[in-house]
Amino acid sequence: MKEQAIQNLFAKNRECRQLLTIIEALQLSDCWLCAGYLRNYLWGFLSGKIAEVPLTDIDVVFYDPTVSIEETAAIEAQLRRSFPEFPWEVRNQALMHQHNFAEEPPYTSTFDALTKFPERCTAVAARMNQGKLELMAPFGWQDICSFRVRPTPHFAQNEQYLAVYRQRQAMKQWQKIWPQLSIEEGKK
């Protein structure tokens, strides 16, 4: 599936458009809808199981070194009050290196942060920018479209990161909904 077709698919989805419009209105720096919502929607569409797609959380990521953890939490709380039908999770990627691994250097942008996500198929994002839908996928969309789950190069680099990646795969249990998934464990 080509990126333009993916863009059209998101643009035609009423809920996705609503989320992107809400996120654009936040006017946060380098702000995107990312990860599970987009990945799961594509898997649901491609497998014909759109009705079975779980709405686990709505990941909003942005990059702004001037916004504190407390301010980020306040943004999330406001979204939860204003739009309680969605399970919001807001993360400032300028601070996320501190959350992931102690030795992690600071990220330089939302794009850079996406390259540090555990799975390639999760490292995807979309946003509205002045009314135009934009997509971002550092590793492309092919893994999602081919039902392939594998670690990003960042997570494939050492056993500590791979252990976290493997733990996520065991916890997420995506194959219960999408049995056609090919899940790679990474090097051992």
pLDDT digits (tens, 9 = 90+) for 130-162: 989 999 999 999 999 999 999 999 999 889 999
Q: What is the pLDDT of residues 46-57, one digit of tens each?
A: 999 887 787 889
Residue 187 lies in a domain: no
Residue 165 lies in a domain: yes
Residue 62 lies in a domain: yes
Domains contained in the chain, number:
1
pTM for the whole thing?
0.94
CA nearest 171: which of 76, 15, 56, 46?
56
Residues 6+ apart with CB under 8 A from 35: 59, 61, 117, 122, 123, 124, 125
Ordered alpha helix ranges (H), 48-103: 69-82, 96-100
Residue 124 lies in a domain: yes
Residue 183 lies in a domain: no
CATH code of residue 171: 3.30.460.10
Residue 184 lies in a domain: no
pLDDT grade for 188, boundaries at 50, 70 and 90: low
Residue 50 lies in a domain: yes
Q: If you average pLDDT over residues 78-100, what whole number do you get?
A: 92
167 close to 128: Cβ distance less than 8 angstroms: no
CB-side neighbour CA atoms (13 Å) of 35:
22
Map tokens 């035609």 to a residue.
12
Could you tell me the residue range of the domain that residue 39 belongs to? 1-178
Residues 6+ apart with CB under 8 A from 182: 146, 147, 148, 149
Give the span between the Cα atoms of 31 and 90, in whole angstroms.
10
159 close to 145: Cβ distance less than 8 angstroms: no
Residue 29 lies in a domain: yes
